[in-house]
Amino acid sequence: MILDFINYILGLFKRKPVRLAIVRKYTDANGSYVGELYIEQERYGVSSYNMIGVSLDTLPLEMGAYSFFAGKLLDVENDFLAPMPKHTVRVGALIPEDNDKVRKMIAKLPKRRITLLVQNRFIEHVIGKKV
């Protein structure tokens, strides 16, 4: 617990942004976008995006990168089944039992330095094709 507090305090002074990315996969029945959640991590001097969970968002379709106080968009309190307000991103895990673990990890990130990148990769949407 003391180590978590020390890491939190040290995190307040770091200037490096925390980069999160959402890769949207499809739209649910309520019109929210379901996707995968990635975080940029550096290991041995190489940066890469690693999947840490899933996301449900109600951001605009044309949303690209959002970096100014993106942490305010993240909802780590509510479940995916709760009603979704506009301009919200909910996070969780692939396995429902791990939802709390992922939410706690995201809640610990410094909210003022989060950069959010949204990519649209719909797998169920084919433009101009008749079914």
H or E segment to which residue 13 belongs:
helix 2-13
H or E segment to which residue 2 belongs:
helix 2-13
**In this predicted model, what pLDDT tens digit does every residue of 52-111 receive, in sequence order?**
999 999 988 877 666 556 778 888 888 888 888 898 999 999 888 888 999 999 988 888
* 120 has a pLDDT exceeding 60: yes
Q: Check residue 128 and give its pLDDT.
A: 44
**Other Cβ atoms within 10 Å of 91 Cβ, number:** 23
CA distances from 97 to 41, 52, 130 (A): 24, 14, 39
CB 40 within 8 A of CB 49: yes
> pTM higher than 0.85, yes or no?
no
Tokens describing residue 41: 């991590």
